[in-house]
């Protein structure tokens, strides 16, 4: 008889990119983990904090410059309006798949028991404060505090 494998019990996700394709993977993985009963901590750092910053979360766009996955030359991606057009197309596709916008996704993850945190170094660097973030952000943490909280967790960096 083989022993039953233990699944993942705890997951810590670090979101560092502020583009649509940088934020959504973190949110999708966090939501999926909560639906599987896995404890989730989301740590937003650098431009990933755009996902939780009230003034920025509705302005997140697809990165068309320097994004090899776009399949277009950089100079085409730099044409004014390309990022907006790509973002509109991506949002339309996500809407057809019933993938919620960032604010709604953040709320769903929080309501399902996921915990959201901002990186203290990034908060200080960008001159932000707790009131700049959506209400689901629990606390601003140092990297050390996040590591302590993540003890025993699988860690994913997006």
Q: What is the pLDDT of residues 111-146, one digit of tens each?
A: 999 999 999 999 999 999 999 999 999 999 999 999
pLDDT band with cut points at 50, 70 and 90 for residue 4: very low
For the domain 11-157, what is the CATH superfamily, name and number? DsrEFH-like (3.40.1260.10)
What are the structure tokens assigned to 27, written together? 């949110």
User: For residues 51 and 15, is the Cβ–Cβ distance under 8 A?
Assistant: yes
Predicted confidence (pLDDT) per residue in 37-46, tens digit? 999 999 999 9
Q: Which residue has the higher pLDDT, 65 or 48?
A: 48
pLDDT value, residue 82: 80
Cβ-contact 15, 43 below 8 angstroms: yes
pLDDT at 69: 72
- Cβ atoms of 34 and 109 within 8 Å: the answer is yes
CB atoms within 10 A of CB 144: 9
Cα angle vertex 13, ends 41, 26, to 5°? 110
CA torsion through residues 122, 128, 131, 132, sign? negative
31/110 Cα distance (integer angstroms): 9
Residue-level pLDDT at 5: 56
* Reported pTM: 0.88
Instruction: Give one word for 94, left, alpha or beta, with left for phi > 0 and alpha for psi -120 to 50.
Output: alpha
Proportion of the chain above pLDDT 90, given as a percent: 68
| Inter-residue contact 50 to 20 (CB < 8 Å) | no
Domains of the chain: which residue ranges? 11-157
């Amino acid at each position: 008889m083989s022993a039953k494998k233990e699944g993942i019990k705890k997951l810590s996700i670090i979101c560092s990119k502020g583009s649509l394709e940088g934020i959504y993977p973190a949110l999708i993985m966090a939501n999926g983990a909560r639906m599987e009963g896995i404890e989730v901590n989301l740590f937003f750092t650098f431009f990933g904090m755009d996902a939780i910053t009230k003034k920025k979360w509705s302005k997140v766009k697809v990165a068309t410059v320097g994004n090899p996955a776009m399949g277009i030359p950089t100079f085409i991606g730099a044409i004014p309006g390309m990022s907006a057009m790509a973002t509109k197309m991506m949002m339309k596709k996500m809407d057809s798949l019933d993938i919620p916008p960032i604010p709604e996704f953040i709320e769903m993850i929080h309501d399902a028991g996921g915990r959201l945190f901002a990186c203290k170094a990034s908060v200080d660097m960008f001159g932000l404060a707790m009131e700049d973030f959506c209400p689901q952000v629990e606390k601003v943490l140092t990297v050390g505090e996040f590591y302590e909280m993540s003890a025993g967790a699988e860690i994913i960096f997006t």
